[in-house]
Copies of this chain bind each other. A is one copy, B any other.
């Protein structure tokens, strides 16, 4: 409940300069300092949180684009002059909501700032009950990206033991988990990534059967044929464009493509043309776009599944942590140049 004493503090923020065409620049995200009253007004059902970790996710590029109905049907655009929003792990400072009290930990959408006022709606925020695992994992493994990998792989791809799985952007927040889920399932899994370091990570740390650096391949079709001489049953799509085109002609009969993201396309003014769509017909392929929030009713089921594996060390998770909100813009922008190694996030405050 609201305290009686005012407590106004400074609140650092990352402000959106306005919509972006092409690759975003640091000037599109401006650091500023304002103040905030650390109390929730009487009768408000909002909560006020201190942000501990902020997540850098590829979908945020979509929110930077010119507002238009197509992309907005997945995620709302950022508001010019306001802090950008993203997923974060936060601690409740004050609460007007019966389900949350001071000191509670939660994850969900917050502003890129030190303190945020949150209006709750169903599945907008999740209380954190398990703190024997790193708290930062709730931006990745145990948060939205983890749930994305879980829903996308198990619900959309309907995997079967022995099937062949290809994952692009495989060392990213979602990809590294899809590969590990595929191995748990008894699938053969190959990932692509954009550096030797990432490729090594896939093969050694995450247990992919094989991996390749797409930047070193002249012909992605040839590369895929090398790793999948008999074709691909399941493609977990994170990149789009030329990779999708090459994957299509390597799909097996009744293959499934889960469209989780198309990061290679977000910064293009004119998206790449994909030519091999007739394969969808020839091979009777299912291509299915999905959004993680349609599956949030399965979040506790997901935790029941994944937490034991994490505690037993059967699932590992690599994070790439930048410290300080001020470093947020360059951390986020680095994502679109593949600079991150593993799940990219920002440590804003230790508690």
Contacts and interface: CB of A to CB of B under 8 A. Distances in A.
A116 to B, nearest CB: 26
B273 A275 contact: yes
A240 interface: yes
A-B complex: 6 closest residue pairs judged by Cβ atoms: A273-B273, A280-B289, A287-B287, A281-B289, A74-B282, A284-B289
A70 interface: yes
A281 B262 contact: yes
Contact of A284 (B253, B280, B294): B294
Contact of A278 (B265, B277, B279, B280): B265
A142 interface: no
A8 interface: no
B262 A278 contact: yes
Q: Looking at chain A's contact residues, is the secondary structure mostly helix, strand, loop, or mixed?
A: loop
Contacts of A27: none
A351 interface: no
17 contacts: A70-B249, A73-B283, A74-B283, A74-B284, A240-B277, A259-B281, A260-B281, A262-B277, A271-B275, A273-B275, A274-B277, A280-B287, A282-B289, A285-B288, A285-B289, A286-B289, A287-B288
A272 interface: yes
A165 to B, nearest CB: 19
A188 B279 CA distance: 29
Interface in A263-304: 265, 270-291, 294
Contacts of A261: 281
A247 B282 CA distance: 21
Given A286-B287, A287-B286, A294-B284, A70 B273 contact: no
A244 interface: yes
A265 B277 CA distance: 10
A71 interface: yes
Contact of A271 (B240, B276, B284, B294): B276
Nearest to A70: B282
Given A284-B290, A284-B291, A289-B285, A244 B277 contact: yes
Contacts of A272: 273, 275
Contacts of A282: 62, 70-71, 73-74, 289
B277 A271 contact: yes
Contacts of A275: 270-274
A312 to B, nearest CB: 34
A11 to B, nearest CB: 33
A95 to B, nearest CB: 33
A330 to B, nearest CB: 26
Nearest to A252: B73
Contacts of A287: 280, 286-288
A271 B286 CA distance: 20
A242 to B, nearest CB: 11
A262 B62 CA distance: 30
Given A271-B276, A273-B274, A284-B288, 15 more contacts: A62-B282, A73-B282, A244-B277, A262-B277, A262-B278, A265-B278, A271-B275, A271-B277, A271-B278, A273-B275, A274-B275, A282-B289, A284-B290, A286-B286, A286-B287
